[in-house]
Chain A
Amino acid sequence: MSLSVNEGVDVKGLVDKVLEAYPEKSRKRRAKHLNVLEAEAKDCGVKSNIKSIPGVMTIRGCAYAGSKGVVWGPIKDMIHISHGPVGCGYYSWSGRRNYYVGDTGVDSWGTMHFTSDFQEKDIVFGGDKKLHKVIEEINELFPLVNGISIQSECPIGLIGDDIEAVARAKSEELGKPVVPVRCEGFRGVSQSLGHHIANDVIRDWIFEKTEPKEGFVSTPYDVTIIGDYNIGGDAWASRILLEEIGLRVIAQWSGDGTLAELENTPKAKVNLIHCYRSMNYIARHMEEKFGIPWMEYNFFGPSQIAESLRKIAALFDDTIKENAEKVIAKYQPMVDAVIAKFKPRLEGKKVMIYVGGLRPRHVVDAYHDLGMEIVGTGYEFAHNDDYQRTSHYVKEGTLIYDDVTAFELEKFVEVMRPDLVASGIKEKYVFQKMGLPFRQMHSWDYSGPYHGYDGFAIFARDMDLAINNPVWGIMKAPF
């Protein structure tokens, strides 16, 4: 494969042309978020984590989405109250495929929607009294609930409610953690601040106020999975590999996770972090406070999986290192067969990616493993450190777009005509109508898992079925 992409394409010219459509003030602001990767670049040369421009159709969400939707929502044995008007909880109800095992409505509540359903009087007189009652009713109707989180929607911070006081009183009264999360949607510039706030609440309201479970016996091989939301079972397909090399995964954050796993995490020997963006904060905190080292790993595609397994094993003794080699060897024949089957059907195909979290970089080598090329990538809510971590994954000439607008992405795709667009549900049907194969890379298009060796086979199959479906050939009527 060549060392650069988009050769012979005037990508810079395309960017300039697309920017022309903006009013001047916005054009200047957007120009800072778009770039073409240069050789030997240390970062991607774009500004990030800056307010979206009004009226441009950003694809971003909000802090509530980052906290309730991503970090807290998947903790299965707690009930997460969407505190405020009915909508936020309604739209995010079962929207992400955070798989879990449990008896929903009895000891797990992941696919349910709990809200204080604010009415006008709650806005005028405050909602703390109602919140007390909401929590009491939840505890009575769901006695096996192990904890409750209060996920603030926009009005909470604007009307001056004291949800922390309610949380303290109720924790005491129920003898269960009740945690207040100030993730009002207007805070910050994207879902990213919601992740950070949610991490801080775990620090202040779980680590500070609870203890690891009595009787928890540590071993030298205790690790955690941090920042895997178990979309379509991703965390399970990762956990199995860690267990196979001889490690003990004492906690999963937060896909299929439990309160006990959060509480026991400070017992880990090392925190293994998959989605750096959404959970690096708590990993850094545990490093400072408990001296637990953390390591970012990547379980997308066999090249990265093998590299990550070796890096993880290197933190442990020779047995683990030997196990890692055995596990890599064990899966190699399946991986070879997958590549032999799918690579000839996918080789040289061009992909444009636009998602969030870790995927705009982490999935790149999985595509490379199949002989595909990434011609453009970008993040919804990255910070500068994400772009620094991206430059070594992608090649010279790659188009980089931060917080891309619907307008920009549509124009880029129209001109660059990749063979696959890998983005989200809001983008999916736009590009399919343009005749382009598409995969949702938030929900895995209801497939998955994509993590781990088991997941790679599914990833390869899914890219093939998207790109090589006959529907793209019948778009034009013969008359």
Chain B
Amino acid sequence: MSHPVSQSADKVIDHFTLFRQPEYKELFERKKTEFEYGHSDEEVARVSEWTKSEEYKEKNFAREAVVINPTKACQPIGAMFAAQGFEGTLPFVHGSQGCVAYYRTHLTRHFKEPNSAVSSSMTEDAAVFGGLNNMIDGLANAYALYKPKMIAVLTTCMAEVIGDDLSGFINNAKNKESVPADFPVPFAHTPAFVGSHIVGYDNMIKGVLTHFWGTSENFDTPKNETINLIPGFDGFAVGNNRELKRIAGLFGIDLTILSDVSDNFDTPADGEYRMYDGGTTLEATKEAVHAKATISMQEYCTPQSLQFIKEKGQQVAKYNYPMGVTGTDELLLKLAELSGKPVPAELKLERGRLVDAIADSHTHLHGKRFAVYGDPDFCLGMSKFLMELGAEPVHILSTSGSKKWEKQVQKALDASPFGKSGKAYGGKDLWHLRSLLFTDKVDYIIGNSYGKYLERDTKIPLIRLTYPIFDRHHHHRYPTWGYQGALNVLVRILDRIFEDMDANTNIVGETDYSFDLVR
């Protein structure tokens, strides 16, 4: 059992190499054979093959109850994200405290940024008597310690199951002077057992707007020349919102992004920690009722909000994570139509440069088969962009996707010859996708970090283009929207394709005739 010490001070080896040393390999083997009482290697290999079969796929798709590796989170994280896009806003999550630790962790791991939110820390007694006292004390503490300009209240499923009434509780807390009577405390009920994070986003946007705009219908609200835009839940929000502001600037449009996290989720390192930074000002949020129109970048993140906005007499327009040339064209034409201003020459030039890049690279994209998964809007926008590149979206999957969404995807597929092999899978999860990838192969997967297990199992290269991206850094700082964003996405896809080509052609004397210097 005695081996020399592999570790050394000169060249410290960590988990990447330490456990490949003979002493650890032997340790693994001893543990397995003497103590684990596992199944035989043959049995494991047999079942492993079976999970890749058509028969397994059928069983897998017959599932009615268990959900395995879904592409959705629960409502509160979406609501928290939406709240964090407003100036000086502290989300206050009413319910169990562990939830907040999870939301903060998840967002932090993606953005590599601090994420601030508080909990009302309800426990057993609150489950019995309700969480009113937690709200009263919690608002007072949060206000005193963190000096927010606004506190946005949302709920965990615990508070929803016991039926706590946010509106009544907040009034009660104000009566007890937890926060000043005129201090803004918008709220949204966000039950985790209804919809997903995209519904939570919608609920919070509507909650904030309701607070500032009032609940009543008023189709005659006076209008001005400003335009509102709601980005939706977007892991690339830092890059994307800044790109949208740049585009609006080129147009000369007075654009209000309703929930702009771009600065709050991208603060500088200069010795000072900013708990809040940027965001849609409360004044602008209040004034936004007078905008002539509101654009939603993600239809499925905003159905109730848009309905509410319509009732204030605004025009609304909705998109599905518009990406690529025509996706951006449509957005810009809408901005031109709403503002009465022409599309700026500079953007036309950017369009031309993007198309030039696509033309330069189309040979590597044409006919390539892709699986795409993520939120409903992302899947739509991504699939359309792929078809524009001559690539074929084959499996398009979203656990948050509805029947309506499936039809919408089908319509987009039907509109292009590159959509012929495509099919939408709403309400399905990544374990379903695993079966699809084994039984109906594609060349590339587009998704998020969770897809790395699919990449490992199927050996199909993964391109990370949607939330959450935990294991690659800083991509969210670059836009995926606009012509510039489309160029970024194009390069990301191409890089992965070229890396994959090189990785598959690099055996000396065997495959390296295809290891081309020029591609």
Type the 1/0 row for A38-67, where 1 means its CB is closer than 8 Å to any CB of B.
000000000000011111111111111100
Q: How many of chain B's residues have a CB under 8 angstroms from any CB in A? A: 112
Q: Report if A405 contacts B (CB, 8 A).
A: yes
Collect the chain A residues with CB atoms within 8 Å of residue B73's CB: 86-87, 90-91
- Is A266 part of the contact surface with B, judged by Cβ < 8 Å? no
Question: Given A53-B137, A85-B157, A236-B19, do A425 and B108 touch, yes or no (CB 8 Å)?
Answer: yes
Nearest-CB residue, chain A, relative to B139: A55
The one of B9, B30, B142, B162 that contacts A334, using a Cβ cutoff of 8 Å: B9
Measured between beta carbons, the chain B residues less than 8 angstroms from A430 are 114, 273
Query: Do the beta carbons of B146 and A407 come within 8 Å of each other?
Result: yes
In the complex, whether B135 has a CB less than 8 A from a CB of chain A is yes
| Residues of A contacting B434 in the complex (Cβ-Cβ under 8 angstroms) | 105
The answer on a CB contact under 8 Å between B273 and A426 is no
Q: Contact at A123–B65, with CB atoms within 8 Å? A: no
Q: Would you give the 0/1 interface string for A423-467, flagging 1 where the beta carbon is closer than 8 Å to chain B?
A: 001101111111100000000000111000110011011000000
Is B156 touching A154 in the complex (CB atoms < 8 A)? yes
Query: Nearest residue in A to B101 (C-beta to C-beta)?
Result: A61
Q: How far is the CA of A334 from the CA of B37 in the complex (A)?
A: 36
Q: How far is the CA of A454 from the CA of B484 in the complex (A)?
A: 47
The chain A residue with its CB closest to the CB of B104 is: A426
Q: CA–CA, A63 to B96, complex, Å?
A: 10
Are B114 and A433 neighbours in the complex by a CB distance under 8 Å? Answer: yes
Per the bound structure, the CA–CA distance linking A132 and B162 in Å amounts to 25
Contacts of A58 in B (CB 8 A): 97, 119, 121
**Pairwise interchain contact B35-A426, C-beta atoms closer than 8 A:** no
Distance in angstroms between the alpha carbons of A132 and B36 in the assembled complex: 28
Chain B residues within 8 Å of A141, by CB: 56, 59-60, 63, 66
Query: In angstroms, how far is the closest chain B Cβ from the Cβ of A255?
Result: 12
Residues of B within 8 A of A22 (CB): 141, 144-145
Q: Is A288 an interface residue (CB 8 A)?
A: no
Shortest distance between the CB of B357 and any CB in chain A (Å): 34
Instruction: Contact check, B8 vs A77: say whether CB atoms are below 8 A apart.
Output: no
B35-73: contact bitstring with A at CB < 8 Å (1 yes, 0 no)?
111110001100110010000100110011111111011
Complex: how many Å from CA A299 to CA B354? 57
Cα–Cα, bound, A363→B75 (Å): 38
Q: Report B478-508 CB contacts with A as 1/0, cut-off 8 Å.
A: 0000000000000000000000000000000
Q: Which of B95, B102, B138, B453 contacts A88 (CB 8 A)?
A: B102
- B27 and A243 contacting across the interface, CB-CB below 8 Å: yes
A258 in contact with B37 (CB, 8 Å): yes
Which residue of the partner chain, among A233, A342, A435, contacts B15 with CB atoms under 8 Å?
A: A233
Would you call A171 an interface residue if the criterion is a C-beta within 8 Å of the partner chain's C-beta atoms?
no
Q: Are B66 and A138 in contact (CB under 8 A)?
A: yes
Q: Take A87-B74, A113-B70, A448-B15 as given contacts and tell me if A54 and B135 are in contact as well, using a CB distance cutoff of 8 Å.
A: yes
Report whether A119 and B194 are in contact in the complex, using a CB–CB cutoff of 8 Å.
yes
Asked if A447 contacts B15 (CB within 8 A), the reply is: yes
A185 at the interface (CB under 8 A from B): yes
The answer to the question of B270 belonging to the interface, with a C-beta cut-off of 8 Å to chain A, is: yes
**Chain B: minimal CB distance from A215 (Å):** 9
| Chain A residues, CB < 8 A from B72 | 86, 90
| Stretch in B122-130, B239-247, B344-352, B411-419 with 4+ CB within 8 Å of A | B122-130
Chain A 254-280: CB-based contact to B (< 8 A → 1; otherwise 0): 001010110010000000000000000
Query: Quick check: which of A173-181, A186-194, A311-319 contacts chain B, the rest being far away?
Result: A186-194
Residues from chain A with Cβ under 8 Å of B68 in the complex: 112-115
Q: Which of A104, A153, A239 has most B Cβ within 10 Å?
A: A153
Q: Return chain B residues, CB-CB under 8 Å to A59.
A: 101
Q: Which residues of B contact A282 (CB under 8 A)?
A: none
A residues near B140, Cβ cutoff 8 Å:
23, 26, 55
B45 to chain A, nearest CB (A): 8
- How would residues 89 to 117 of chain A score, 1 for a CB under 8 Å from any chain B CB and 0 otherwise? 01111110001011111110001111111
Residues on A lying within 8 angstroms of B by beta carbon are 21-23, 25-26, 51-65, 77, 81, 84-88, 90-95, 99, 101-107, 111-120, 122-123, 130, 133-134, 136-138, 140-141, 143-144, 153-155, 157-159, 185-189, 191, 213, 232-233, 236-237, 239-240, 243-244, 248-252, 256, 258, 260-261, 264, 330-331, 333-334, 337-338, 340-342, 405-407, 410, 425-426, 428-435, 447-449, 453-454, 457-458, 460-461, 471, 475-477
The 4 closest A-B pairs by CB, nearest first: A62-B98, A87-B74, A54-B138, A55-B138
